[in-house]
Amino acid sequence: MSKTIAIYDSDAIAYRAAAVIDKRSVEVKHLPSGRTKVFKTRTEFKDSLKLKDKEFIKTDYEFTDQVEPGELSHCIHIMKNQIEKINSDLFADEILMCIQGKTNFRDSLPLPSKYKGNRTGLARPTWLREAKAYLYKNYPSTVADNKECDDDVVIYGYEYLSKGYTPVLISVDKDSAAYSGLNLYDYTQDNPKVRLVPDFGSLWQVDKTVKGEGFIWFCMQFLNGDISDFYKPSELAKVKFGEQSAYKLLNTCKTHQEALQCVIDQYRSWYPSEFTYTAWDGSTHVVDYRDILQMYFRCARMMTTREDNLDLREFLEKYGVELPQ
């Protein structure tokens, strides 16, 4: 039997453990009256207004986030137990912690809205940095330099696979479900199981939310974007296009070529001619649909080798698809 290698998205392990021990609340001040009250979340506060049939007027309220930190030792205990359980469930022979570095090339992409810009200013768990440092010092680790932790998880997955090992990606990130031949293990699910990512894969809906796996799932991200990473390919076209629209277009595709052509055709319809736009950093760019495709390809696609420069034309050539002029 081949060795089982557990490859961790350790940022998720650290974040979940650090977040759960923080006791968070929000103090809400009613500005006209000066009264204050503490709620667990902003949602709890807004729900309390609905119960009283009161309208939420944003300018009438001031919110102050409050954090009561837990003990770092508790955070470490949670991580150790989680890792031990996962390794035991998988009968892992070896493990590798993939940790996010300080830089990520996607942060400098000239998108109309900054990559993951929706996370700027969000409160981070108190002990997150220390939790990541603990994992780095106490387990076999690698740091993702100028890329994402998710890139390294996929890169190492394919490297171990090519050596005849059985890599299992320990990840809760939905992007990981797009890379065929790799095994996934989502430890946050009830009764989690190892699942093999299929080649072409499929899309389906759960309570009107689109889910998927395999190559077609990557195409879904490429076409629709990812709200959690704050990129939307149709943004500059200023059209209404959501995951249901993308699902209807892609769900009829049966081959890799059909799916890629579907994505290309949709981008061409959004951006039929050369145009000028201003990026999030104030820079100005003259582009056509091919430039936009390349930019969002680098958002949606994870690197699969250390040398992968995420060149769209090279990627399309593998499937016999060309970009029309």
Q: What is the dihedral of CA 79, 82, 85, 88, to 10 degrees?
A: -60
**Average pLDDT of the residues in 28-32:** 94
d(CA 76, CA 80): 6
d(CA 156, CA 162): 10
Of the pLDDT bands very low, low, confident and very high (cuts 50, 70, 90), residue 325 is confident
CATH for 1-25+68-197 is 3.40.50.1010
Domain residue extents for the chain? 1-25+68-197, 199-325
Smallest CA-to-CA distance from 310 within 169, 99, 134, 154 is with 154
- The dihedral through the CA atoms of 11, 117, 307, 211 has a sign that is positive
Give the global pTM. 0.90
Q: Is the pLDDT of residue 6 over 90?
A: yes
Q: What is the pLDDT of residue 312?
A: 98
Q: Is the pLDDT of residue 208 over 90?
A: no
Q: Is the pLDDT of residue 122 over 80?
A: no
**Average pLDDT of the residues in 86-105:** 97
Q: Is the pLDDT of residue 234 over 80?
A: yes
